[in-house]
Amino acid sequence: MMKGLRCDLHVHSCLSPCAELDMYPRKLVERCLAVGLDAVAICDHNASENVAYVRRCAEGTPLTVLAGMEIASREEVHLLALFDKVEEILPLQEWISRHLPGRNDERRFGCQAIVNERDEVEGFCDRLLIGATELPLQAIVEKIHGLGGLAVASHIDRESFSILSQLGFVVPGPPFDALEISAETGIRGGRLRYPELESFSFITSSDAHHLREIGRAWTAVRVETVSVKELSMAFRKQAGRTIEE
Ligand SMILES: [Zn+2]
Ligand SMILES: [Zn+2]
C-alpha cells in the first residue's frame, strides 16, 4: 500500500566536524521522531561511522534510517550517497577514505566523534573529513551506482560546494538520481529558479548540523516503504511512486 512519508535525506551527526556534539545517535533519533519524520539518511562529510549506531537507536521505532554520506569531490562539489544498509556503504567508505588526504586538526575544524547507541564515545575519527577527496565527481557517481546506491547532488542552489557554484552546470553532467534544493529555497523555489532542470526530481532536506534544524525541511514521498529501490522509483515516477512537490 502506498503511503505519503516524510524523508529527510541529509542530516549530519557529531561525526561531522562542523556539527554540534549534541547530534549523537540517541538524541538524533529522538529529535527525528519528535518532528514526525518517517525516514532519515545520516550523511556525514566523507564518513559513515555513526550510521550503525543511529540505526540501533531507531530499532523498534517507526523511523527508517538510511546509510548515507555527503562526499566532496575533487571539484569541491558535494553529493549525497544513499544506501539501505551499513554493509552496502562500507566499500564506498573504504574507497573514499583512501582518497581523502590530510588529518583533522580538532582545534581548527572541530571534533569528529564516533558515539554509540549508549551515548558512549567509541573514538574520534582522525581523517580530514572537512576536506575534499581527490576523486572526480563523475567517478564518484559511477562508484555509488556500481554499489547499488543513489547519488543526489547536494544543495544545488548554494553559492559554494554545489555543482552549479563549482561547475556551473548540471546537464550534461553526471547522471544524478535527484537534485537537492536547500531548506531556505525549497522545492517550489527551486522549480521557479531552475526551469531548465524540469526533467530532474528535486528533493529538499534540512542539512541539519544542529538538533534544532532537524524538521526545518523534508521531502514528502509517495512510496510503499522508504528504501533505495522505492526512492529510485519515486525519482523516476514509476509505478505510482512520486515525490510530492
Ligand atoms: Zn554540503
Ligand atoms: Zn551537509
Residue pLDDT, tens place only, 171-185: 888 899 999 999 999
* Three cell numbers, residue 55: 540505526
Q: Which helix (H) or strand (E) holds 56?
A: helix 51-58
Alpha-carbon distance 83 to 147, whole Å? 9
Cβ-contact 163, 77 below 8 angstroms: yes
Ligand nearest the Cα of residue 11 is 2
CA of 227 to the centre of ligand 2 (A): 20
Q: Which of 99, 102, 126, 100 is nearest to 112 (CA)?
A: 126
| pLDDT score for 171 | 83
Ligand 1 ion: residues within 5 Å (CB):
78, 154
Buried b (16+ CB within 10 A) or exposed e, 158-177: beebbbbbbeeebeeebebb
Rounded to the nearest integer, the mean pLDDT of the chain is 97
Ligand nearest the Cα of residue 18 is 2
CA of 15 to the centre of ligand 2 (A): 12
| pLDDT score for 93 | 98
CA of 61 to the centre of ligand 1 (A): 28
Ligand nearest the Cα of residue 73 is 1
| pLDDT score for 173 | 84
CA of 207 to the centre of ligand 2 (A): 5
Q: Which of 9, 8, 11, 12 is nearest to 129 (CA)?
A: 12
* Three cell numbers, residue 127: 581523517
Cβ-contact 15, 44 below 8 angstroms: yes
User: Which parts of 65-193 fold into alpha helices (H)?
Assistant: 86-98, 106-109, 137-146, 163-166, 186-193
| pLDDT score for 174 | 87
CA of 43 to the centre of ligand 2 (A): 7
Ligand nearest the Cα of residue 206 is 2
Instruction: Give the CATH number for residue 163.
Output: 3.20.20.140
Number of structural domains (the chain) is 1
Euclidean distance between the first and the last CA atom of the chain, given in angstroms as a whole number: 20
Alpha-carbon distance 83 to 86, whole Å? 8
CA of 146 to the centre of ligand 2 (A): 23
According to DSSP, the residues that pair with 181 across neighbouring strands are 204
Alpha-carbon distance 214 to 40, whole Å? 10
C-alpha 36: how far from its chain's center? 18
Domain ranges, residue 219 = 3-244
Residue pLDDT, tens place only, 102-114: 999 999 999 999 9
Q: How confident is residue 34, by pLDDT bands cut at 50, 70 and 90? A: very high
Ligand nearest the Cα of residue 41 is 2
Ligand 2 ion: residues within 5 Å (CB):
70, 207
Alpha-carbon distance 196 to 144, whole Å? 25
CA of 161 to the centre of ligand 1 (A): 6
Alpha-carbon distance 123 to 120, whole Å? 9
Pick from 16-20, 39-43, 90-94, 169-173: least confident = 169-173
CA of 131 to the centre of ligand 2 (A): 13
Residue type, 131: G
CA of 174 to the centre of ligand 1 (A): 17
| pLDDT score for 82 | 98
